[in-house]
């Protein structure tokens, strides 16, 4: 879950389970990777414009406020 703060206020939540997030990264390169203390980490940058949420150029608006997507069996977007 990513809590989104814009213009000094909490505005949205991106609800993404770890499996779907990792799959999206592996298939679409959504994040930058870095290693810290021997562990790989992902760093995401999200864009918000006219109600559309993007990570890199991929529209991930389906994850905005979708609490049902926390279901571990969900594998896509």
**pLDDT tens across the length of the chain (77 residues):** 888 887 888 888 888 878 888 888 888 888 888 999 999 888 888 888 888 888 888 888 888 887 665 665 655 55
Is residue 76 in a domain? no
Is residue 30 in a domain? yes
Is residue 75 in a domain? no
Is residue 77 in a domain? no
Buried b / exposed e over 12-35, threshold 16 CB at 10 Å, is bebbbbeebbeebbeeeebbeeee
Range of the domain at 65: 2-70
């Amino acid at each position: 879950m990513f809590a989104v703060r814009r213009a000094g206020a909490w505005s949205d939540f991106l609800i993404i389970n770890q499996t779907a997030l990792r799959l999206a990264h592996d298939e679409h390169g959504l994040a930058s990777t870095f290693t810290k203390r021997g562990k790989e980490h992902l760093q995401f940058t999200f864009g918000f414009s006219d109600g559309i949420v993007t990570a890199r150029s991929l529209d991930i608006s389906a994850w905005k406020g979708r609490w049902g997507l926390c279901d571990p069996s969900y594998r896509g977007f």
